[in-house]
Amino acid sequence: MQRIDVGRWRPPEAGPMQVVSGPIGRERIHFEAPAAERLRSEMTTFLEWFSRATDDPVLRAGIAHFWSVTIHPFKDGNSRIARAIADMALAQADGMPERFYSMSTRIEKERKDYYAVLEKCQKGSLDITAWLDWFLACLGRAIVDAEKNIESALRKGAFRTFLLQTDINSRQRKVLDLLVEGFSGKLTSSKYAKIAKCSADTALRDIKNLLSRDFLSQEKAGGRSTAYTLQSSSLQNTHPN
């Protein structure tokens, strides 16, 4: 751990900024950023371009990310800053006050591929077509993620509204609410009793009632460790208004 000068360019005395892997003595240099002495002029050129760029707005976001992270102006946090710049450019491209997808989050999920395509395009010529292809595909996956999350949130909200209008007790409502949110592990009658703060007999009666009403389904394995899951049809058949 070492202190860094927050918000300041890399100082010349810090030496060359390199992305390195491998054991000591057999290091592999994946990338070396421009020398610290060039940072002010490089960032001035980048910021002037960013403020007046007339490229396709989505391609502008991809170019801005690549350009920023390649300059690598800070001692730390350059990838996070580049992702923030890309998200800012995409927000400007959308022209809307709300955004339901996050390019930054999706890139974090694909870090291995992200660094691989960066390394490929940061060496050799100025052709970054491969990077832009990957960036646009990643953006598409981020939008699909957002659509799935929104659909899931709407279904969960509709299901909870449905539960409020259904004749079940507060214990059953509490457990179903946990299940729809994504219960960790398997629900058994003993876990039900602990969650609902009730006796084992009461938990079993509640569960049997929910089974008969198709809120829960019972796993094939029986015995004392019998587990129950949320009946998928009960969630799928509940549509938001």
CATH code of the domain covering residue 86:
1.10.3290.10
Order of strands, edge to edge, in the sheet holding 227-230? 187-188, 227-230, 216-218
Cα end-to-end distance, the chain, whole Å: 52
Entry pTM: 0.71
Q: Where are the alpha helices (DSSP H) in the chain?
A: 39-52, 57-71, 78-94, 103-109, 111-121, 129-164, 170-182, 189-196, 200-212, 232-236
Q: Are residues 223 and 109 in the same domain?
A: no
Collect the ranges in the chain with pLDDT lower than 50.
239-241
**H/E segment holding residue 172:** helix 170-182
pLDDT at position 241: 45
Residue-wise pLDDT for 59-117, tens only, equals 999 999 999 999 999 988 888 999 999 999 999 888 877 778 888 889 999 999 998 99
Question: Phi, psi at residue 10, to the nearest 5°?
Answer: -60, 130
Select from 121, 149, 177 the last residue of a domain.
Answer: 149
Q: Are residues 137 and 175 in the same domain?
A: no
Contact 23, 12 (CB under 8 A): no
Give the range of the structural domain holding residue 81, as residue numbers without chain letter: 12-149
Select from 149, 176, 201 the last residue of a domain.
Answer: 149
Number of C-beta neighbours around residue 230 at 10 A: 20
Instruction: Tell me the β-bridge partners of 216.
Output: 230
Closest CA to 73 of 158, 150, 9: 9
Residue 3 inside a domain? The answer is no
Domain count across the chain? 2
Residue 1 inside a domain? The answer is no
